[in-house]
Amino acid sequence: MLIRTPRKSDVLSSEITPHSVFLRRREFLRAASATSATAALGPFMLSDPAFAGAKLPNVKKTKWTAESLGENDKPTPYEDVTSYNNFYEFGTGKGDPKRKAGSLKTKPWTVVVDGHCENPGRYDFDDLIKVHALEERVYRFRCVEAWSMVIPWVGVPLADIIKRMGPTADAKYVSFETLVDPEQMPGQKFAILKWPYREGLRMDEAMNPLTLMAVGLYGEEMPNQNGAPIRLVTPWKYGFKSIKSIVRISFTDKQPPTSWNLSAPREYGFYSNVNPLVNHPRWSQAKERRLGGPTNVFGFVQKRPTLMFNGYEEEVAAMYKDMDLARYY
């Protein structure tokens, strides 16, 4: 009989947080339409992008939701996932994306595919994604600022999309760009970063089974503030590597520029792998705080050790064999 040894990256489906937040939201909306008193709240609630998701159909369970991540890795409450975000296109405050992202129009949405591939073109979102089976995956998500979450993402493996596009032998990297539209994304009216936001992966990283193009959270459509309608998720890298609201995917023969590396090359490298042994120049990466996690006697969320590659060492370490991870950070 084959006995499977659980990995650190596995998670039990029974540990996924119940969708009570979603159910309460729908109750609020029904109540708002039923009484004139609560109807006054309707415009606020309907414009809040955290309340805009629709249930995603036919989401397939995977091994990343079937077995345990561990007792200390239960999914983060939905409210924390959707209200504490880095999305500078809507402002630098953690609450800015939720407050301002209602201006983003995600339907219709197209993604340009170009570079060294056999099937370039402008793809409608439905054509790009919905020919693939949606999967649910519960991943750790670690920000370079030392806070972390555990998020039930819904999406499709990036490898499936790449195979469909037919990259040529010259395609060594995959690069991504976010929408540029200051009217929809008011943070782009300021030179916080060099717009558009850019990210990139080496081809083997992009093809890794963990790499996901996410279109939803907790079984529902992606809220605007979390990167609707489509974003990258690379769970062994810091969160800023998971580019949001993607409008371009390019296959390149050279390492592409990335936004944070362009803006602060001493602090942010191309690889951006979670590595507790390499500190950010301004703070330690050895520990993290899990949003929504247990607190100490003073009411602060307790720190926990940061895991190498965010706990996905078994799945990704071979890609970086013989690399100096302090130099290639």
- pLDDT tens for 256-293 read 999 999 999 999 999 999 999 999 999 999 999 999 88
> What Rg value do the Cα atoms of the chain yield, rounded?
20
- The answer to whether residues 111 and 122 touch, using CB atoms and an 8 Å cutoff, is yes
Maximum CA pair distance of the chain? Answer: 66
297 pLDDT band, cuts 50/70/90, is: confident
pLDDT at position 68, please?
54
* CA–CA dist 152, 130 (Å, integer): 19
When pLDDT is averaged across residues 308-325 and rounded to a whole number, the result is: 96
Q: pLDDT category, 296, cuts 50, 70, 90?
A: confident
Domain layout of the chain by residue ranges: 13-268
CB 197 within 8 A of CB 178: yes
Give the pLDDT confidence score for residue 8 in this predicted structure.
47
Tens of pLDDT, residue by residue over 174-205, are 999 999 999 999 999 999 999 999 999 999 99
Check residue 322 and give left, alpha or beta (phi > 0: left; psi -120 to 50: alpha). Answer: left
**Could you tell me whether strands 231-233 and 212-217 are parallel, antiparallel, or unpaired per DSSP bridges?**
antiparallel
Residues in the chain: 329
- pLDDT, one tens digit per residue, over 21-61 is 344 444 333 333 333 333 332 322 333 444 457 899 999 99
Q: pLDDT at position 66, please? A: 45
130 burial level (CB within 10 Å; 0-12, 13-18, 19+): middle
> What was the pLDDT predicted at 52?
54
Q: Which residue has the higher pLDDT, 135 or 7?
A: 135
For the record, the structure tokens of 274 come out as 């979670």
Question: Which residues, including other chains, have CB under 8 Å from residue 77's CB and lie 6 or more apart?
Answer: 17, 21, 292
CA distance readout (Å), 293 to 66, 69, 172: 22, 15, 39
The region, left, alpha or beta by phi > 0 then psi within -120 to 50, assigned to residue 170 is alpha
pLDDT at 142: 96
User: Of the candidates 157, 173, 144, which has an alpha carbon nearest to the alpha carbon of residue 214?
Assistant: 157
Predicted pLDDT of residue 291: 92
pLDDT tens digits for 219-239?
999 999 999 999 999 999 999
Look at residue 13 in the predicted model and tell me its pLDDT.
42
- pLDDT of residue 246 exceeding 90: yes
Gap between the Cα atoms of 292 and 147, Å rounded: 10
Structure tokens at 212: 């996901």
Helix residue ranges per DSSP H, 112-254: 125-129, 158-165, 203-207
60-97 confidence digits (pLDDT tens): 999 997 455 777 788 999 999 999 999 999 999 999 99
Q: What is the pLDDT of residue 39?
A: 33
Output the pLDDT for position 25.
Answer: 41
- 13-268 carries CATH number 3.30.470.20: no
Distance (Å, whole) CA 258 – CA 271: 10
**CB neighbour class for 40 (10 Å; exposed up to 12, middle 13-18, buried from 19):** exposed
State percent of the chain over pLDDT 70. Answer: 83
Euclidean distance between CA atoms 46 and 42, whole angstroms: 6
- Rounded mean pLDDT, 104-111: 97
